[in-house]
Structure 1
């Protein structure tokens, strides 16, 4: 008797959890689907509750958004045809928009395609945002494989955009690393090297995978892997951290590049990336449980520090720079790595905090109970990982699509990675 009662309770609990995940994914998807830009279809940088929508669209968030749209199509929340039409609109727009040696800017005008400067000198190509865009577009290409005209056109446009990115140009003539920005007005004057460990791994993976403009593997080993914060190996809260800065940095490091890149069984000479990401999440959560600064609300069901909004603007938040602000996306995009802990956080966010942090596009960007401050904004790079990483936890869909790209497999092999997808 007890067994069947126990199992029916268990299955009821599973159904309940599944229903909650449906609600969160579906509501969050609205940011990209219902609030996508009306002309280009691209994802907005942010939406502020009570403020008129503007024309600023974000390239990285658009890559995350197309992955969210695939998840919505696969779950039947959007029809395949509607998804295909929207994605064609986006890709046709991108194909005509200005790029800088094939690399898109951080922000563009969703009506005209004109580059919108991210900062005074950041008015050209942004390699990392472009990598996040392409991570998504390659998943789209792999998903829409039917032999009919619209799907063929979509694949062809994505291949053209992908092939046009001059990753090798962003080594500044063969310097052994990638650079984040190049501008026709300011050249290399931003001088920002992309070194590990952080959220930018995808830029190196795609640069090594490029059909026309691949980098030499030495750029990965001599640039990315030589970053000051690359190797760690120390323990924090009794948990070993293979790579990254002290306490691991913001949780976007385990999310942004791993929306498509499947960390399960992914290894190279530097790390086992599943272990890396799980440990990073556990350290971040344990910091919130131990709560050394005694911030209000922190605990086993209220955790998650990553770059996000505060009452004084957007800040890099992590255990070594903890200002008392929890970002719901940090915990919720960690579902693959710590599902029980993420579900505790989700139930808490849906419980006592719901009226302050939940709205028409899911959860807002951040909150501080200490300061009684609750964000009025939805940010594209927060909303995308919530939908995509919950989907990867539930079905592995985006991981499977991205890892099915033959170019990605050969790029990973060139860099010395191993993965079950490459067997």
Structure 2
């Protein structure tokens, strides 16, 4: 296959580096004999990072919710940005600085624009909405009753911002000023408000005119662990440990009664709606782009082993392929929430396996399954090629079974991909986030070891 490689990536293949974004160079034939695994990871990181750099919404600097290369957006929402996806995106920009895709000064300028936008955007007891108009800062409702604060998406955003704060907090005067502004935003999130009174659980949504009508108490196991960790860590609006243990952990009911899938991999936690085989793989990614699972344990789980086994079960399901879908196998696996043949689905083994593979599922699992994930990366890049590869890395999803290939991207899928590949390579975002003293205090409060 031929790919339109950037000058920077040609240098990366040769073991060199560059410090600023580069325009595409002439086509270069690239195959497994001419690019190392390490350089391929750099290429994938670079292209995926560009979703959050060149592809960002221009006024706010934030991550667009989606990008369709054909220019056809649902509801004409090309200016709609996502708070959670932008949390992953600011982490991706830190990867860009580390890898030399941009300079530190360029990264600082973009982060300053993003923080300035967040300071004036709509907030609801300190929490941002799921979707925001990038031109005006006004909330775009995510649903009829979802027009206010989204605490889960806010948690993903704060997770990223704290990593940025830690990156810049001992730098130049301008960098320290940015870190201080982030610190203020973090301390203004009223995590305790989202207890809906003094309940021992956190609620996902609150609206200024609909109140608690969404009525979604967040109980595990799903993608929301980071929300409870940050709520416990807050120095200004913290929650007591009981909210975690009685709400999230359901007074111990988060633990499985039957702890093995048929494949023999141990799942200690009940995976909501998909207990035997585990839920969509983003549950092993979103909370763990910053929260380091390598040695993370509490009385409920060993989170490294939990996430690794979740990944292996998902992979094994695709290898055994009980529904007989075309393309599935050792080099092509990964079920998670993404675009789908019916527009969108939370793909997972059993009932929500629709024959759709989502690249972020295996690639964001690099820390847990490095050899297995590399096989997928190489298959996607060398074998499927331009069917699944474009300007901002691998497209969101595809189905060989249905000959379905769309050139669409989603921020919440692109972000974990570049961040978790970098965590596998260097631990960059894990080290930054875990260095925050408030996070360490919060984990201690909840009874974690790390």
Whether TM exceeds 0.5 here: the answer is: yes
How far off is 1:375 after superposition?
2.4
Structure 1 residue aligned with 2:261: 235
User: Which of these residues, 352, 355, 359, is aligned with residue 328 of structure 1?
Assistant: 359
Supply the distance in 2 between the matched residues of 1:49 and 1:254 (Cα, whole angstroms): 28
Residues 18-73 of structure 1, C-alpha deviations (whole Å, 9 max, x = no match) = 10000000000010000111111000000011106711000000000000000110
- Aligned 1:181-200 pairs, distance under 5 A: 181-200=205-224
User: Which of these residues, 290, 293, 299, is aligned with residue 260 of structure 1?
Assistant: 290
User: Which of these residues, 360, 369, 373, is aligned with residue 391 of structure 2?
Assistant: 360
SS at match of 1:108: strand
Supply the distance in 2 between the matched residues of 1:166 and 1:263 (Cα, whole angstroms): 26
Supply the distance in 2 between the matched residues of 1:172 and 1:238 (Cα, whole angstroms): 40
Supply the distance in 2 between the matched residues of 1:217 and 1:78 (Cα, whole angstroms): 41
Taking structure 1 as the reference length, the TM-score comes to 0.94
Structure 2 residue aligned with 1:166: 190
How far off is 1:366 after superposition?
0.6
Structure 2 residue aligned with 1:40: 60
Residues 97-134 of structure 1, C-alpha deviations (whole Å, 9 max, x = no match) = 11000000000000110000001110000000000000
How far off is 1:13 after superposition?
8.9
Supply the distance in 2 between the matched residues of 1:162 and 1:14 (Cα, whole angstroms): 46
The reply on whether 1:89 has 2:120 as its aligned counterpart is no
User: Which of these residues, 366, 376, 391, is aligned with residue 407 of structure 2?
Assistant: 376
* C-alpha contact 2:130 2:150 (8 A) present in aligned 1: yes
- Aligned 1:380-391 pairs, distance under 5 A: 380-391=411-422
The reply on whether 1:22 has 2:42 as its aligned counterpart is yes
More displaced stretch, 153-162 vs 387-396: 153-162
Taking structure 2 as the reference length, the TM-score comes to 0.89
How far off is 1:185 after superposition?
1.3
SS at match of 2:316: helix
Residues 310-351 of structure 1, C-alpha deviations (whole Å, 9 max, x = no match) = 121111110032111000000000000000000000011012
CA separation of 1:324 and 1:301: change in aligned 2, threshold 3 A: same
User: Which of these residues, 284, 287, 292, is aligned with residue 314 of structure 2?
Assistant: 284
* C-alpha contact 1:277 1:337 (8 A) present in aligned 2: yes
SS at match of 1:378: strand
Supply the distance in 2 between the matched residues of 1:41 and 1:79 (Cα, whole angstroms): 16
Residues 222-268 of structure 1, C-alpha deviations (whole Å, 9 max, x = no match) = 01111898322232322121112231100001100000000011100
Residues 150-208 of structure 1, C-alpha deviations (whole Å, 9 max, x = no match) = 21221111111100000000000111100000000100000011110011101000000
CA separation of 1:61 and 1:227: change in aligned 2, threshold 3 A: farther
- Aligned 1:310-349 pairs, distance under 5 A: 310-320=340-350, 321-349=352-380
CA separation of 1:412 and 1:253: change in aligned 2, threshold 3 A: same
SS at match of 1:353: helix
Structure 2 residue aligned with 1:247: 277
How far off is 1:290 after superposition?
0.3
How far off is 1:377 after superposition?
0.9
Name structure 1 gaps, 5 residues minimum.
Answer: 1-10
Name structure 2 gaps, 5 residues minimum.
Answer: 1-14, 16-31
User: Which of these residues, 274, 279, 299, is aligned with residue 269 of structure 1?
Assistant: 299
Structure 1 residue aligned with 2:96: 72
How far off is 1:145 after superposition?
2.4
More displaced stretch, 114-123 vs 351-360: 351-360
SS at match of 1:350: helix
Supply the distance in 2 between the matched residues of 1:72 and 1:192 (Cα, whole angstroms): 36
Supply the distance in 2 between the matched residues of 1:216 and 1:334 (Cα, whole angstroms): 32
* C-alpha contact 2:261 2:276 (8 A) present in aligned 1: no
Residues 349-391 of structure 1, C-alpha deviations (whole Å, 9 max, x = no match) = 0122111111000011111111111122110001001100000
